[in-house]
């Protein structure tokens, strides 16, 4: 018998999305995109994924998925431990050193 894999930790910066996945709640505005969350809901129910909140200020994925200003990009670059090719490693502000995990 195979040993089950530990649950994946998913950090999401949208409280409505978390409520929809964890509790099955959705607003009228979200009803049109419900189909996008079926797989995530099922994985959460099977305890394959743990859902946690990550404040937008430290959502490191934004550095790879959004057009950002230099200051914001450098902050997110520092949070993931990258350094600019033409300068020192970005400084991470106090209090933003790590992503919070759910209780």
Q: What is the pLDDT of residues 49-71, one digit of tens each?
A: 899 898 888 888 888 888 989 88
What radius of gyration, in Å, describes the C-alpha atoms of the chain? 17
Decide if pLDDT at 12 tops 70: yes
Q: Which residue has the tokens 């997110």?
A: 76
Spell out the domain ranges in the chain: 8-53, 56-93
In degrees, rounded to 5, the angle at the alpha carbon of residue 65 between the alpha carbons of residues 90 and 35 is 145
Q: How many CA atoms lie within 13 A of 32 on its CB side?
A: 1
In three-state secondary structure terms, 96 is coil
How does DSSP classify residue 32?
G
In this prediction, residue 22 has a pLDDT band, given cuts at 50, 70 and 90, of confident
32 against 8, higher pLDDT: 8
Q: Regarding predicted confidence, which is higher, 29 or 56?
A: 56
Residue 7: is its pLDDT beyond 70?
A: yes
Place of tokens 């505005």: 29
- When the pLDDT of each residue in the chain is averaged and rounded to a whole number, the result is 76
* 88 vs 45, higher pLDDT: 45
Residue partners of 19: CB distance under 8 A and separation at least 6: 25, 26
């Amino acid at each position: 018998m195979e040993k089950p894999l530990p649950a994946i930790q998913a950090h999401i910066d949208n409280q409505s999305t978390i409520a929809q996945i964890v509790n099955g709640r959705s607003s009228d505005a979200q009803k049109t995109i419900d189909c996008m969350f079926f797989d995530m809901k099922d994985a959460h129910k099977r305890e394959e994924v743990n859902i946690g909140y990550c404040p937008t200020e430290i959502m490191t994925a934004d550095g790879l998925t959004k057009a950002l200003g230099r200051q914001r990009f450098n902050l997110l670059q520092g949070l993931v431990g990258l350094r600019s090719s033409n300068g020192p490693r970005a400084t991470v502000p106090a209090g933003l050193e790590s992503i919070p995990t759910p209780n």
